[in-house]
Amino acid sequence: MKASIKWLREFVDFSLTPAETADALTMAGLEVENIVPNSRDEDDSILEVNVTPNRPDCLSIRGIARELSAILRLSFKDNIISIQKEEDAGPSIEIKDTNLCPRYASRIIYGVQIKPSPERISKRLESHGIRPANNIVDVTNYVLLEMGHPLHAFDLNKLAGKRIVVKTAGSADKFITLDNEKRTLSKDMLLIWDAEKPIAIAGLMGGLNSEVTSSTVNVLLESAYFKPASIRRTSKAVNISSEASYRFERGADINNVVLALNRAAQLITEIAGGKITKITDNYPVPFSINRISVSLKKINDILGINIEPSDIQEMLTAIGIENKIEGQGVTVVPPGFRQDIQRDIDVIEEIARLYGYSKIPSTLPKTETQPLSQNIRWNLIKKIKDSMRKSGYSEVINYSFLNPSDLDRLKLFKEDTRRELIKIKNPLKKEEEALRTTLIPALLNNVILNISHGEKSLRFFEISSIFLHSGQDLPIESLKMAAIYLKDKKGLMWQDKHDGFYDLKGALENLFFEIRIKNYLFRQDFSLIEPYLHPGKSCVININDRTVGFLGTLHPEVADNFEVAPEINILELDIDKVCSLISPKITYKPLPKYPYIERDIAIIVPENVTVSDAEKTMLDINTDIIESVKLFDIYAGKPIPQGKKSLAFSIRYRAGDRTLTDEEVNQVHSKIIKKLEDSLKAELRS
């Protein structure tokens, strides 16, 4: 809401500067967001006031001035409105639906002269963001700004009869509003009718069929009160948001109906001439008065202050709230323009506002000490993020939106559940119309952006929820981690010496150690692998035999689809599953008392034998003296025959209760060799 300082001064005589005025209003809850010069009057400034939805009474100059007079404790000078000569009868008004329209008042002005408004009107409209039209329309807008009450003027000669009927649309399904738009109506929308036809959508916009134009002579002026929720529903449905609807849907002041009508009628005769008829005011069931009692103790308890009853009375009186101290409480009757004050807490808020939030002391709550309660999941996520960070990965955060075509680019199968998208009815962009069912496309897009900046090596991770269909109202939100590693092709030898796959795998193994996950393994299983991973260079991650994620190199076709280099490795982890598999207990194992004996073993095996196959084979020997088996070399190439590779392990032997003899170790060691030869067709490398 824009408010001219000069205009405000017509209602309250204050001497504050614009900045001081802004501060006073802001600190009382009417936040002034900007002070700008009045482009139509160099001696004036305009305040841009952010009026919260609970204060429709401040959507006018008069309302803001009334508030200012209360804050500054200055007297309020209201408009003096007097209709001098009333001749003839006003129109007849019939309200069919008094629930949607509790009050409708009208006067007719005969014999107006349509012309541009005088400058004092047109300049004010312009400086408050309304384009002047003609003197009649301008007056309705001027009164809207000044008094906050929307009015409408019809060309009487275009109406059938001097008659207004307020009723819903019924079977009328199309209506052309004065902006020349054909609107589709539904039958419960409230319309204004003449004796025969609809002439306005109530509270939103008049019809083209009854518009005031340069040839208008007689005007029917409407001032009414419409039910806020109904106006809002209609406004959304027909997609009209006007100065009028904005005020009606927040709640106009029903007591203002006649005042605003008279003010407009008076102004019209001043600037357009004409004769005013008597008023017709149809207000069948007057609004009841709301009486509220508030306990004095509650005021002090909730605000944490100690305020005198007389001070409470002074403040309430200043904002026009009738009040009376009765016993241990105060009974109040809010004025009609404060429909937001309905119960005791609303009154307490008014007292707090006028008392000044700055005067409320700062204390700390007196409550019993409670033990610190840990959120285990949150702590784990924190640990995971920190572990990834220490492995060189930077955290990214992407929007939760998904471009559905990215799923094709990922080569997801038609029947993949991640294709069952949760869609947003009103997305900002087509590419953001669904919620993510996978974190991968966003990370690939992060890579693309950074490559365009000249980055060659990237390590990123994100921990965010994906959204999967559940069959219920709310989707399943599953917390995932995805990480991506783009290896620099040239790679500095001391920084990118590992193959990308093993870099990510190492990061994950560090992570598992950090959060105490032990029983994990990496398994190649072509039947389970993600369609967007290179089947030969990817694996499933298992913990306690449950699949918790995937690790692998991007499928070359997918790399093509996203136009990224194929040297990208990806990790995906189901964080919720991982968190459920953690064994946080640490049990101490005594340190060994007896020395170890270490033996190395180098074997040549067919290429498809994995390190894990060899390890398992060795550990499968029936003995308790193998302490550990560690890989220390892998080699293929000359002199190893084609199709084969060499693996070298260090085996550490130790017994818990004695010093091992060479003989004992030799025995087990040769069993190991035999087993390797038998089950893996391994040859001992000499």
Partner 1 sequence: MMKEILSIKDSAQEEINNTDNLDAVQNIRIKYLGKKGILTNKIKALSAIAKEERREFGRILNETKDYIENLLIRKEALFKAAELDNVLKTQRIDVTVPGCFTPFGHLHPTTKVLDEIIEIFLSMGFRIEEGPEVELDYYNFEALNFPKDHPARDMQDTFYITDDVVLRTHTSSVQIRIMEKHNPPLKVIAPGKVYRCDADVSHTPMFQQLEGFMVDKSISMSDLKGILEVFAHAVFGPKTPVRFRPSFFPFTEPSAEVDIGCVICSGKGCSVCKNTGWIEILGAGMINPRVFEKVGYDPDLYTGFAFGMGIERITMLKYGIDDIRLFFENDKRFLEQF
CB of residue 348 to partner 1, shortest distance in Å: 7
Residue 264 exposed, middle or buried by CB count within 10 Å (0-12, 13-18, 19+): buried
Min dist. Cβ of residue 132 to partner 1 (A): 28
How near is the Cβ of 454 to partner 1 at its closest, in Å? 10
Q: How far is the CB of 536 from partner 1 (least distance, A)?
A: 26
Between CA 410 and CA 407 the distance in angstroms is: 5
> Segment near partner 1 (CB under 8 A), from 278-286, 317-325, 489-497, 617-625?
489-497
Rule CB under 8 A: say whether 352 interacts with partner 1: yes
Give the binding-site size for partner 1 (rule: CB under 8 A).
92
Nearer to partner 1, 209 or 464 (CB): 464
Of the candidates 289, 474, 586, 591, which one interacts with partner 1 according to CB under 8 A? 474
Q: Least distance (Å) from partner 1 to the CB of residue 54?
A: 5
Alpha helices in 402-481, H assignment, sequence order: 405-409, 440-452
- The beta strands (E) that lie in 269-353 are given as 275-276, 280-282, 292-295, 322-326, 329-333
Does residue 426 touch partner 1 according to CB under 8 A?
Answer: yes
Nearest to 336 by CA among 254, 429, 244, 415: 254
Q: Which of 221, 229, 222 is nearest to 248 (CA)?
A: 229
Cβ 151 to partner 1 shortest distance, Å: 20
Taking the complex as a whole, the smallest distance from the CB of residue 393 to partner 1 amounts, in Å, to: 4
74 binds partner 1 (CB under 8 A): no
Instruction: Report the DSSP beta bridge partners of residue 35.
Output: 47
For residues 336 and 104, what is the distance between their CA atoms, to the nearest angstrom? 17
Q: Considering the rule CB under 8 A, would residue 449 count as an interface residue with partner 1? A: yes
Q: Does 623 bind partner 1 (CB under 8 A)?
A: no
In this structure, what token pair is assigned to residue 686? 């000499």
Residue closer to partner 1 (CB basis): 196 or 395:
395
| Interface with partner 1 in residues 356-375 (CB under 8 A) | 357-358, 360-370, 372-373, 375
**Residue 91 or 500 having the CB closest to partner 1:** 500
**CB 489: neighbour CB atoms within 10 A?**
10
Q: Is 383 in the site for partner 1 (CB under 8 A)?
A: no
Q: Does 382 bind partner 1 (CB under 8 A)?
A: yes
Tell me how far, at minimum, the Cβ of 508 lies from partner 1, in Å.
Answer: 14
List the one residue from 495, 519, 659, 670 that touches partner 1 (CB under 8 A): 495
- According to DSSP, residue 272 is labeled H
Calpha distance 251→227 (Å, rounded): 8
Q: Which is nearer to partner 1, 54 or 542 (CB)?
A: 54
Residue type, 588: Y
Taking the least distance from each CB to partner 1, the nearer of 228 and 334 is 228
Q: What's phi and psi for 529, nearest 5 deg?
A: -70, 150
Bond before 566 cis per omega within 30 degrees: no
Place of tokens 């614009």: 18
Contact between 59 and 145 (Cβ < 8 Å): no
Site string for partner 1, 293-322 (x = CB under 8 A): --------xxxxx-----------------
Q: Which stretch binds partner 1 (CB under 8 A): 164-172, 307-315, 445-453, 552-560?
A: 445-453
Q: Are strands 683-684 and 644-653 parallel, antiparallel or unpaired?
A: unpaired
CB nearer to partner 1: give 206 or 228. Answer: 228
29 part of the interface to partner 1, by CB under 8 A: yes
How is 592-652 classified by DSSP, letter by letter? P-S--EEEEEEEEEETT--HHHHHHHHHTSS-S-EEEEEEEEEE-STTSPTTEEEEEEEEE
User: By C-beta, is 86 or 488 nearer to partner 1?
Assistant: 488
Show contacts with partner 1 in window 181-240 (CB under 8 A): 228-229, 232-233
520 to each of 22, 127, 138, 379, 523, how far by Cα in Å?
64, 71, 77, 21, 10
Ranges within 498-517 binding partner 1 (CB under 8 A): 503
38 binds partner 1 (CB under 8 A): no
Q: Does the footprint of partner 1 cover residue 427 (CB under 8 A)?
A: yes
Site for partner 1 in 586-605 (CB under 8 A): none
214 vs 367 by CB, closer to partner 1: 367
Q: Does 115 bind partner 1 (CB under 8 A)?
A: no
Q: Which of 325, 345, 619, 634 touches partner 1 (CB under 8 A)?
A: 345
Contact status: 36 vs partner 1 (CB under 8 A)? no
| From candidates 261, 276, 380, 396, binder to partner 1 by CB under 8 A | 396
Kindly tell me which of 507 and 604 has the beta carbon lying closer to partner 1. Answer: 507
Q: How far apart are CA 572 and CA 13, in angstroms?
A: 68
- Does the CA dihedral 169-171-173-174 come out positive or negative? negative
Q: Does 471 bind partner 1 (CB under 8 A)?
A: no
467 touches partner 1 by CB under 8 A = yes
Any idea what DSSP says for residue 157? G
Is residue 71 close enough to count as binding partner 1 by CB under 8 A?
no
Query: What is the footprint of partner 1 within residues 142-181 (CB under 8 A)?
Result: none
CB of 320 to partner 1, least distance (A): 17
Q: Give the footprint of partner 1 on residues 239-278 (CB under 8 A).
A: 249-250
651 alpha-carbon distance from chain centroid: 58
Binding to partner 1, residues 83-102 (CB under 8 A): none
Please identify, using beta-carbon distances, which residue of 484 and 559 lies nearer to partner 1: 484
Residues 531-570 close enough to bind partner 1 by CB under 8 A: none
403, 408, 445, 554 from 531: Cα distances, Å:
18, 11, 18, 9
Contacts of residue 202, defined as CB under 8 A and 6 or more positions apart, other chains included, come to 100, 101, 166, 189, 190, 191, 192, 224, 226, 231, 234
Q: How far apart are CA 105 and CA 157, in angstroms?
A: 19
Of the candidate residues 28, 201, 205, 257, the single one contacting partner 1 (CB under 8 A):
28
Least distance between partner 1 and beta carbon 370 (Å): 6
SS3 breakdown of the chain: % helix, strand, coil, rounded to 5?
30, 25, 40
Q: Which residue lies nearer to partner 1 by CB, 146 or 344?
A: 344
Question: Binding of partner 1 at residue 521 (CB under 8 A)?
Answer: no
